[in-house]
Structure 1
Amino acid sequence: MQEGPVLNISSYKFVELPDTAQLREQLFERAQALGLKGTVLLAEEGINLFLAGTAEAVRGWVAQLKGDPRFADLDPKESWSEAVPFKKLLVKVKGEIIRMNMPQIRPDRAPRPAAVTPETLSRWLDQGHDDQGRPIAMLDTRNAFEVDYGTFDNAIDWRIHKFTEFPAALAEHKNELMGKTVVSFCTGGIRCEKAAMVLEQQGLDGPIYQLEGGILRYFEYAQGKHYHGSCFVFDQREALDAGLHTPADLQRPASEAHRG
């Protein structure tokens, strides 16, 4: 249901992009012409985007993007707001669309890790185990200050301060995950996709999944069941509740003030 005149979208895709410089110019010009604001990151490994504007403009830009076969299956997550939560438009070329500092982890060149849908995950959490009777380990791959806004009930949180710390934290704590079905999750899916690939390399003895579409997609389908608090987002709205609105009584965690 639409609430507010501004459409906000977020999406990503790991796909080989050898033409990032040319793409950067094209995508910037199209977004600027449509009056959009937000951030689009491009790297050889793919695209990561957060944009806002009128519904017609945003969806028109996405339709043009999907005209490129490499992006034809993009499925942006949508939310609405009263005002545009970005100050300007940025389209940047980066080394990684989500930095991990592990050049051997290239989701654009490998089979995508298995994913669990929000509907299936909600059912597993209802019953307390997966369909094979294995206990579920919900692994939060976000930074500590984000987790403090809200997370899944009984989620594992290694208090990392930046995503580049995740591989070392996993190596230190992987015994916590043995004997369980591991579901890695993050805000929109991009971090937990890379994290799932690292998990697959650790020799765990159970299935490994990423949460399809991350927390924001889960909110769309499960209305926050088995989740407490809100979800931090990287724009001026700060956080969204299970209805994809900024909570009226939003409390900023103490740790947020110290984030790097």
Structure 2
Amino acid sequence: MLIVAALYHFTRFPDPAALKGPLARVACAQGVRGTLLLAREGINGTIAGTRAGVDAVLAHIRALPGCADADWKESTAAAMPFGKMKVRLKQEIVTMGQPDVDPRAGVGHYVDAADWNALIRAPDVAVIDTRNDYEIAIGTFAGAIDPGTRSFRDFPGWWRRNAHRFAGKRVAMFCTGGIRCEKSTNYLLSQGVDQVFHLKGGILKYLEDVSQQDSLWQGECFVFDQRVSLTHGLQPGRHGLCHACRRPLAPEDRDRPEYEEGVRCHQCAGEYDDADRTRFRERQRQVARGELFAGPASEE
């Protein structure tokens, strides 16, 4: 089994470009694959490899400026879920498009997985899923509000249009691993909401720690690698991925008339033109021949 480590850490990197090469070299030397994003605000990503390889990369990351206390969440994979190692420079490690948002200045109250059920059952608590619509479509917490956003950039606009709905409520927020909640809770604090909470370690920590019989989670959790979805105990789920639109597919979705592997699914059948479809078919032929790794979805 391979180790999969998902991590993020907000810190201040004056020159993230200077960190890119050494980090990539360590990962490649250890046979580790995945994606790591570097920005002035910190680091974010998921990597996979052997125990020794992942440990070496994590040790390198913890030696970076301000990262000594960086944490991560681990799961396992039977096969390598990434095609190659990518270290990318970005403006933000998760894109919200709000330059004044800074989680280092304050975030919502962290709630451990063991205490989450009691919080979200409280009648004065509004529970908001901060993930994208296609992620929410395959699983979320019972009673959670779906903002219907296609991208995390859309969340601030959604909040401004809907803030009146939550007057007098405590707000509990959650996401896959916790990073979006770091930004979204900081944003709500800046908007004058003082009773803001978020699930520490995100859905992944909840699925790891809370038994299925006690769980309020419904469905599966979308993840941004070739496993596509996870269930309780961080076991692989039943979903695959449409490699045209990068949205999740249940097994029965492959039987729909719109489906063509690597080219389209029922969710994106009307979204691309003939030139795009031709390009997708050529890519799928390369994947089928083993010349190209199809790749996971992009976390934005």
TM-score, reference length from structure 1:
0.89
2:110 & 2:8 partners in 1: Cα distance? 15
Question: Which runs of structure 2 are paired with 1:159-238 in the superposition (5 Å)?
Answer: 159-204=148-193, 207-223=195-211, 225-238=215-228
Is the 2:229–2:236 contact (alpha carbons within 8 Å) kept by the matching residues of 1? Answer: yes
Instruction: Tell whether the 8 Å contact from 1:86 to 1:236 is kept in structure 2 after alignment.
Output: yes
Question: Which of 1 and 2 has greater Rg?
Answer: 2
Amino acid across the alignment from 2:249: R
Match of 1:239 in 2: 229
How far apart are the structure 2 equivalents of 1:249 and 1:91?
A: 27
Match of 2:140 among 138, 151, 171: 151
Q: Compared with structure 1, are the counterparts of its residues 58 and 257 closer, same or farther at alpha carbon in structure 2 (3 Å cutoff)?
A: farther
Per-residue CA distance 1:155-202 (angstroms, 9 max, x = gap): 011101111000010011112222222111111111111111111122
Q: 1:41-66 CA distances to partner (integer Å, 9 max, x unpaired)?
A: 00001100200001111012212322
Amino acid at match of 2:135: E
Distance 2:239 2:15 in 1: 45
Shift of residue 136, structure 1, vs aligned partner = 1.9
Cα distance 1:158–1:111, how it changes in 2: closer, same or farther (>3 A)? closer
Of structures 1 and 2, the one with the larger relative CO (CA 8 A, separation 6+) is: 1
Q: Return the match for 2:103 from 93, 101, 107.
A: 107
Amino acid at match of 2:225: D
- For 1:30 and 1:249, locate their aligned partners in 2 and report how far apart those are by CA, in whole Å: 32
SS at match of 2:134: helix
The correspondence for 1:252, drawn from 207, 225, 249, is: 249
Q: Structure 1 residues 222-231 or 186-195, which shifts more?
A: 222-231
Q: Name the structure 1 match of 2:276.
A: none
Question: Residues 50-91 of structure 1: CA distance to partner in whole angstroms, max 9, x if unpaired?
Answer: 000011110122123223351121221111111010011000
The alignment yields a C-alpha RMSD, in angstroms, of: 2.1
- Tell whether the 8 Å contact from 2:13 to 2:65 is kept in structure 1 after alignment: no
- Contact 2:82-2:226 at 8 Å conserved across structures: yes
The count of corresponding residues between Structure 1 and Structure 2 is 248
User: Quick check: 1:38–1:86 contact (8 Å CA) kept in 2?
Assistant: yes
Any idea what the Cα deviations from partners look like across 1:189-242, whole Å, max 9, x if unmatched? Answer: 1111111111112233x6101211111111122135111000001111111112
Residue 244 (structure 1) shift: 0.7
- 2:40 is aligned to 44
Deviation at 1:106, TM superposition (A): 2.2
| One-letter amino acid of the structure 2 residue matched with residue 120 of structure 1 | D
Contact 1:11–1:77 under 8 Å retained in 2: yes
SS in 2 for 1:70: coil
Aligned to 1:124: 119
TM-score between both structures, scaled by the size of structure 2? 0.77
Cα gap change, 1:249 to 1:148, in 2 (>3 Å):
closer
Check 1:124–1:102 CA distance in 2 against 1; reply closer, same or farther (3 A cut): closer
Structure 1: 5+ residue stretches without partners? none
Instruction: Confirm whether residue 18 of structure 1 aligns to residue 14 of structure 2.
Output: yes
> In the TM superposition, what is the alpha-carbon distance from 1:122 to its structure 2 partner?
2.5
1:115–1:211 Cα contact (<8 Å) kept: yes
